[in-house]
Structure 1
Amino acid sequence: MNYSTLKKGLVLSLVAATGIATIASAQDSTAQDSTAMSSPMSTSTSMSSSAKVFGGRAQYRTWSIGINGGVLAPIVAIGGANDFNKWDVNLGYGLNIRKQLGNAFALELNGVRGKLSGSNDASLYGAGSTAKDFETQLQYAVDLRGVVNVGSVDFLRRENSVGFFVTAGAGYIAYNPKVTLGNGTVVDQKGMYGGNDGYGNSKTKSGNDKDYIHSFYIPVGVGVKFKVSERVNFNLGYTMNFVDEDNVDGVYAKGTSKDKFSYGYAGLEFSLGSSSKPSLEWSNPLATMYDELKDPSLRQEVEALKNRVSNVEKAVEDLKKDTDGDGVSDQFDKCPGTPAGTAVDGSGCPLPAMTAPMADSSNVTGMESIQFDFNSSVLKTESYPTLDKLSSSLRENGGKANLKGYASSEGTAAYNMKLSKDRANSVKTYLVNSGVNSSQVMTKGYGEANPIASNDTEEGRIQNRRVETARN
């Protein structure tokens, strides 16, 4: 093939492909602009918002197919030994199928066909058997490679339209070299390979194929892709292929060296799957995370949670509210509005009048009784005036106070003994916190012992839940 003609054809092909990409991009941009005019959110943002962090690959389009065309050459960009000092460029074409496993990595199956050719200067061959030129038909070169997208995480842009990638993998190739010797003899072994390659080398991995030599190769490549639309990519790439043989060009000139060839291509890639899903290879995890955090439904859930917390806090405050100050919260106070200082039971109702003479007698004898609610060692606010008076007396006049704790007969004797001690210690803690020296206060629990009223009635049990204070 004439090099100049091939170059012109390739340039025209690239221009045509670029034109198609530009038209498709313009159409896609127009469609997105129209959508943006009817909605405050652009198409790309809507598609990004449909994906969730840790939502899995099922929420994306992950399959794509592509076609490509370009030039094949029996050299690679990194150089190395060659059996011919002149090389030609020839047309190659291929297909690929890609499965995107993540936003930055994919597996790709590639297949390429075409031919390779090259020649030597006349000064390098003579009338003998030295090779003059070669032409190798690539029946196929099929490989599975990993594709790494470079820069798929972007902190500056929500979505990119240009991406770079690197590839590497392993493949299997079938080829037939035809060599023209310096004396004009053409060596073409097609149809005669079978168990060897026609050059005296065993080719058991060729099996029964008599037309082509088979071998393994390693492809390594780089490229750039352009997002034409949500469905179409335009790719430019270059792949170096390192073959595990030294006869791709039909010559074993270097003995232990291995042949190689390259493929530079341009192609279109088409994403498969539902249009409602974004493409995984163009996804930006940062944008997906941002969309999820800014999701209106999530904000609504947060606000609803705040309201629920506020309601709980208000309910707790309502439970603590005690309007009449009798020590029983309004929620459980069956007798609201009792006068200040009135002795009440656990339901907030005044105690029977029979306790009044006892209170009067305690004032006369110097003994005070501090009442407690059922199963509680928490001081009631109505006890504070009595305790403040006792504290003032101990601080000003010295002396000691004996605190005797008691309980009603509900529960076990062991539990009531502990409860009576806790009640006495609650009174001591109040006195010490008010300035009384700890050594001035003695405490002792008596449990159910020494009731001052019958434990058979609630009125009697209320009186027995007490701490008696006495001055020494």
Structure 2
Amino acid sequence: MPLAVKAQTTATRTPFKAVSLFDGTADYRTFSIGVNGGALAPVSPTGGSNDFTKWKADFGYGAYVKWQILHSLALRADYLGGKLSANNDNNLGNGSRPQSPYSEFETKLKYTASLSAVATVLNINWLHRENFVGLYLSAGAGLAGYSPRITPVGGAAQDYKTGGGNINELVIPVGAGVKFKLTDLLNLDLGYTTYFTDGDNLDGYNKPPQKDKFSYGYAGLEFVFGAPGKKQLQFTNPAVVLYDELQAQKMANDQMQARLNNALASNDSLAASVARLTADEDGDGVSNFFDKCPGTPAGAKVDGSGCPLPVPEPPKVIEKVTVTEEDNRIVREAVKNLEFATGKSDIKPHSYETLNRVADLLVKRGFSLKLAGHTDNVGRPDKNMILSKERAESVKAYLVARGANPSRIEATGYGQTQPIASNKTAQGRQTNRRVEFTIY
């Protein structure tokens, strides 16, 4: 360790403007924009080339805006456009021709807009304060708009969607790349991103169960903004910065000690110097020399720098809430009148009046409320579980809109797991379709 200290404090270390690692990112460049171009292809390392056997590489282009939040984490908003195409010229893996009604497709990727988190990895070492190369991983979500044209075997190309309209789908971009620092204002960016779509429409051939995906390999430039003299946060090595900060603090402490020693030596007497150093005008037990809050009121408790300690808040008195029979009657009436649209979580308007009384009760009396949604056994259990939860949440949302405290309302769905009547009769199923109210 002593050898490492000497190596990092030699004259070969490039001097930097003094910054504090604990003062945020104000002393670094954190905003940048990037432009790039490269190859777009309907293929993915995780799942082949969608529904066609031979993918093609077409030109793609993109741009992004990035905000570096920490040394190793950034938020990036991306745009991507271009073209995707493939055909069935290649045989299948067993040598046979693909059994497909289509021979090829071409999709115009009009836009892909996404927001991703970008994590810089391997940017910590013990040799340099700044790195010149950084590896990064990215993942996010966004929306893609595209219009496929599909060519049937032996036929002419046609729009997949009537009129050539856009298809808009959710996409999940996952990528990796390497970035080279050319100057404090310019970086070279090389990367590869796979976009997973939430559908099977990208190539114009809907062939479940797999969803389509495409990839983009690119090279580009990143332009970094900031005041002159500031360094890029993404290439700053936090470990060495911290070490240099500690060394600078140690040097400042040594200089302060030297000034103090000189002051003591220059005084007429050591006793006079000590008296000045130990004087405590406000009587808080911290000498004037170290007191950062002079004039503290007598008797106030202070910290080591002479500043008052925070006064703890008095404990809150929690009043006991009693539920009356009238309160229970209002709740029972609301439960009795509560109805939803068939198969939905929409509350019917005739239920509003009694729900309003429950909301007033929660606001005026400060009660807590538990909502438990239930269904009959018609339909799939997982769908019923979701529906029961949504109905309970719908009631909660209505009560909150009427002024109730959302933190005092619990909404839970139990689906068809807790029937109170037989599901073999229409009356029993209707009884089981309910939302139970419990106030306390």
CA contact (8 A) 1:125 1:131 kept: no
Q: How does 1:31-430 map to 2 (within 5 A)?
A: 45-47=14-16, 49-80=17-48, 82-121=50-89, 124=97, 130-189=101-160, 192=163, 211-253=165-207, 255-295=208-248, 297-305=252-260, 314-315=270-271
Moved more, 304-313 or 237-246: 304-313
Cα gap change, 1:167 to 1:77, in 2 (>3 Å): same
Cα distance in 1 between the residues matched to 2:253 and 2:274: 30
1:87 to partner: Cα distance: 0.3
Aligned partner of 1:257: which letter? Q
State the SS of the aligned residue for 2:163. coil
Cα distance in 2 between the residues matched to 1:285 and 1:119: 49
For residues 106-135 of structure 1, what are the alpha-carbon distances to aligned partners after superposition, in whole Å with 9 as ceiling and x for unaligned?
A: 000111100111000386368xx7010000
Cα gap change, 1:301 to 1:188, in 2 (>3 Å): same
1:159 to partner: Cα distance: 1.9
1:93 to partner: Cα distance: 0.6
Unmatched 5+ stretches in structure 1 = 1-39, 194-210, 320-472
Cα distance in 2 between the residues matched to 1:176 and 1:139: 8
Cα distance in 1 between the residues matched to 2:256 and 2:87: 74
Aligned partner of 1:170: which letter? A
Aligned partner of 1:45: which letter? T
1:158 to partner: Cα distance: 2.4
CA contact (8 A) 2:185 2:223 kept: yes
Identity, in percent, stands at 42
Cα gap change, 1:260 to 1:318, in 2 (>3 Å): closer
Aligned partner of 2:230: which letter? K
Cα distance in 1 between the residues matched to 2:134 and 2:98: 47
The residue that corresponds to 1:366 in the other structure is none
Cα distance in 1 between the residues matched to 2:49 and 2:160: 24
Unmatched 5+ stretches in structure 2 = 1-9, 91-95, 276-440
Cα gap change, 1:59 to 1:311, in 2 (>3 Å): same
CA contact (8 A) 1:168 1:218 kept: yes
Determine which structure has more spread, i.e. the larger CA radius of gyration: 1
Cα distance in 1 between the residues matched to 2:257 and 2:26: 27
State the SS of the aligned residue for 1:214. strand
1:287 to partner: Cα distance: 2.7
Moved more, 310-319 or 157-166: 310-319
State the SS of the aligned residue for 1:292. helix
CA contact (8 A) 2:150 2:160 kept: no
Cα distance in 2 between the residues matched to 1:317 and 1:242: 73
Across the aligned residues of Structure 1 and Structure 2, the Cα RMSD in angstroms comes to 2.8
Aligned partner of 2:64: which letter? N
Cα gap change, 1:184 to 1:293, in 2 (>3 Å): same
For residues 246-297 of structure 1, what are the alpha-carbon distances to aligned partners after superposition, in whole Å with 9 as ceiling and x for unaligned?
A: 01000012x2311000000001101101112111111122332233333355
Cα distance in 2 between the residues matched to 1:301 and 1:318: 16
CA contact (8 A) 2:62 2:79 kept: yes
CA contact (8 A) 2:83 2:108 kept: yes
Cα distance in 2 between the residues matched to 1:135 and 1:160: 42
